[in-house]
Structure 1
């Protein structure tokens, strides 16, 4: 008897859920992304019990007929890919066909949808990964999906859920990230009747969406960023150095409209700001990086929050140039005339060079010779340090 056996679809979906559905916020993200891929102009998220009790996502997208409504619950069934080459031209949020069946396998799942102008809609229910049950339903615009009792059949996973307030915060952040990436779509989120996030479409002035996400006080501190070079486009906004956070939660980077947490990109942003921010503070940026789909691999992370660039250095250089140009111009200081009257503070490197020049001139005036440098010493090493001389300067500005 063979010791190797094929896994059942129910078990496969539960395993997939362990990667795709980490917490209620994962469900919110996946369902909202489906709405965006369906061409929705308005997305509504309603939560109960921090998202563990109930998650409802409704949209005004193009909806589905009965065949597609049932087929979307099968693993690896997707409308986004047809052949291998499509994987290298992905312009949709989802493409694997894993999220819906994975979510349905660990919840009480209901889908209600209809095609445009259809006289009859479709309702599909699934209980913990069981067989889908489809029936007629009243026609509606778009799709509404309700996920109840998340992880009810995976007690170990439910046991490790955080407090409801913590899970709710993660759900809200999922909505905010998608809203920042898609200012042309209206987003609304509520928890047990209380509004969490509300932002009509703001495609004419993206700052309105950023202010809705980060608070109205941020609006006046936002300045545009734009750079295009060698197939990389960087657009978005940065907040002036006086508007900062004590953590990196204000760093929003998007690649081809997908929220990405990339160490290289974050480090590039932090380096660009390092001479402009006080110690212990982090910048606030909302940056959109667009590259050719072939130049980035989005299929490297279960939740698609990491990517691999064909030319990571080129992307980082474009990002650095975009930020540096705005930071050096310091538009928050006003017009050129106002800046001349109130010049921006110099960075540490400027002062270090100024001090070095002063000490060199003082040495020449005293001994008639310039200070020795590392290259003047035998073998190119630094000369002996005079007794009591400081090793360096610590500049605070």
Structure 2
């Protein structure tokens, strides 16, 4: 067969295979063109999920009549003129393939008027066949009409999904666009009825209102604001609280210079930042905007512009990770209640119980002024004779700490405390587990976890392979505070344990740590899993269910929570505390009705 040049119509249809996947792709390209033209209002009209009709009308700068035929030619664009322009693209569209590709697989028409022109002009294309440019009345801006998508490519048309599915794809993308362009008004009609309306808001003062429109009030009320800058990079937006994590990654939006993208570097950085505070299988919600020099990012790596490539991915990764890691670390229990929404308790069935029977003393210093507590709570022996005559003591007039003062313990599991806002419920095991975990991490970061020799070494029977593994792992174990020597073919002797965990069951603690060492291996993977080892150790050192705590011990735990990073969640991402306000308590008892 002789080599021959493909006709333009076929070239455009081949290009359409890359650019036009479904109706959503058409909407994306047309709306992005409208925004690049300076539109402040975009109206989208759809029929049958966009399969029968897509009409996009904008109030942008429009196109001159003599430029309409050029606009529907391949690689024709007003957005780049040189290689330098391509390397620092700041517009949403730039490849010059969208209009000719769309026009080649649909019945296409475009109408437009420049602001200074007396009237507009129209151009129709049917399956790639160009019509004549005709004068036509039209307001400032452009209207692009796409009918019967893929009518001349039946193989592609039969792969389109049901009307509702195609509409959902468009809806999802429009939500992403609404987040990126809060000052732009977006109206959508479907099958002749109003479907969606994103009202314009001020990008600085009221951006969160647009976020609430897209992600819902639940996210807006359970998120933390992000504002960070480093070496010319600016990160802003919102991340959801760990306790508001979701079962799927459906509320994760990331924008680079205003362009919505998917990027593995970013996804990994966010996942690492949340590693210590998310329950297994849960996904964080976030809306993040990264502003970076266009020269440092390549947006021309995907035909549909879904992906980007950072020229220095490591610095971007570290910047995002450090910014979010620090922000989440500062979410101490009870911190800034006026700015930080209280955690919401998930469904009880969402988390398995993790309480063990053995119990030792609680290794927390008592930091409260006992005289102050005696003024609030009399000792039982003193209280009995005076109970009938004296009222309950009033709370301090100078305000209480964020988590308040302990009142009692419930079922040996929860601490009840009173603060200025109302009632605080604390899961004592989850809270102490986080505190111990953070202490272990801090100790390791300060040069290694200190060991405490055991008065009587503990002999641990093992299989021969486990005993050999313990011998080969002697140094990594020493870094975690263990001193272990082999005492026989199938046994080892534990002579020292981490000082922070000196009162736990040394045998069981060692067996659990050895099991994780053998699973992860004493290698780079072990380094990445180090926090999991420390979490296992922390779980052993935490107070268990049915342990009765005194009021000073309970208050010591509350004060330690307030001072500990990430104390709003345990090591497994479960919430450690819940706030019930006075108004919520009033509603429970129908007070004031």
CA contact (8 A) 1:35 1:43 kept: yes
Change in Cα spacing, 1:195 to 1:386, as seen in structure 2 (3 Å) is farther
Secondary structure at the counterpart of residue 247 of structure 2: coil
1:304 aligns with 2:394: no
Classify the secondary structure of the residue corresponding to 1:184: coil
Q: Give 1:386 deviation, angstroms.
A: 3.6
Question: Which residue pairs with 1:364 in the alignment?
Answer: 454
Higher mean displacement: 8-17 or 131-140? 131-140
- In structure 2, what is the equivalent of residue 330 of structure 1? 331
Residue of structure 2 in register with 1:188 after alignment: 187
Q: State the Cα deviation string for residues 125-157 of structure 1 (Å, max 9, x = none).
A: 111111133211103121111111111111000
> Please, which moves more after superposition, 59-68 or 193-202?
193-202
CA distance in 1, matches of 2:317, 2:449: 36
The equivalent of 1:284 in structure 2 is 285
Equivalent-residue separation in structure 1 for 2:95 and 2:449 (angstroms): 63
Shift of residue 20, structure 1, vs aligned partner? 0.3
Aligned twin of 1:25: 24
Q: CA RMSD in A?
A: 3.0
Evaluate the alpha carbon distance shift between residue 46 and residue 351 of structure 1 in structure 2; reply closer, same or farther with a 3 A threshold: farther
Alignment correspondent of 1:251: 252
CA contact (8 A) 1:198 1:212 kept: no
Cα pair distance change 1:194/1:213, threshold 3 Å: farther
Give unmatched runs, 5+ long, in structure 2. 338-399, 405-423, 459-469, 494-506, 517-535, 540-571, 575-593
Shift of 1:176: 1.2
Q: CA deviation at 1:42?
A: 1.0
In 2, Cα distance between equivalents of 1:103 and 1:377: 63
How far apart, CA to CA, are the structure 2 residues paired with 1:301 and 1:117?
36
Change in 2 beyond 3 A, CA 1:44/1:386 = farther
Unaligned runs of 5+ in 1: none
Change (3 A) 1:77 1:229: same
Question: Following the alignment from structure 2 to structure 1, what is the Cα–Cα distance between the partners of residues 41 and 156?
Answer: 32
Q: Cα offset for 1:15?
A: 0.5
The TM-score with structure 1 as length reference comes to: 0.90
Q: Which residue of 2 is the match for residue 63 of structure 1?
A: 62
Q: TM-score, normalised by structure 2?
A: 0.61
Q: Secondary structure at the match of 1:375?
A: helix
Q: Distance in 2 between matches of 1:6 and 1:365?
A: 88
Question: Kindly tell me: are residues 367 and 50 of structure 1, through their superposed partners in 2, closer, same or farther at Cα, counting changes over 3 Å?
Answer: same
- Larger gyration radius, structure 1 or structure 2: 2
- Aligned-pair distance for 1:263? 1.3
**Partner SS for 1:224:** strand
Is the aligned partner of 1:374 residue 2:474? yes
- Give the drift of 1:201: 1.5
How many residues matched?
Answer: 391
8 A contact 1:240–1:332 mirrored in 2: no
1:38–1:340 Cα change, 3 Å: same
Aligned equivalents of 1:16, 1:200: Cα separation in 2: 35
**2: distance between equivalents of 1:19 and 1:107?**
15
1:347/1:138 CA distance change after superposition, 3 Å: farther
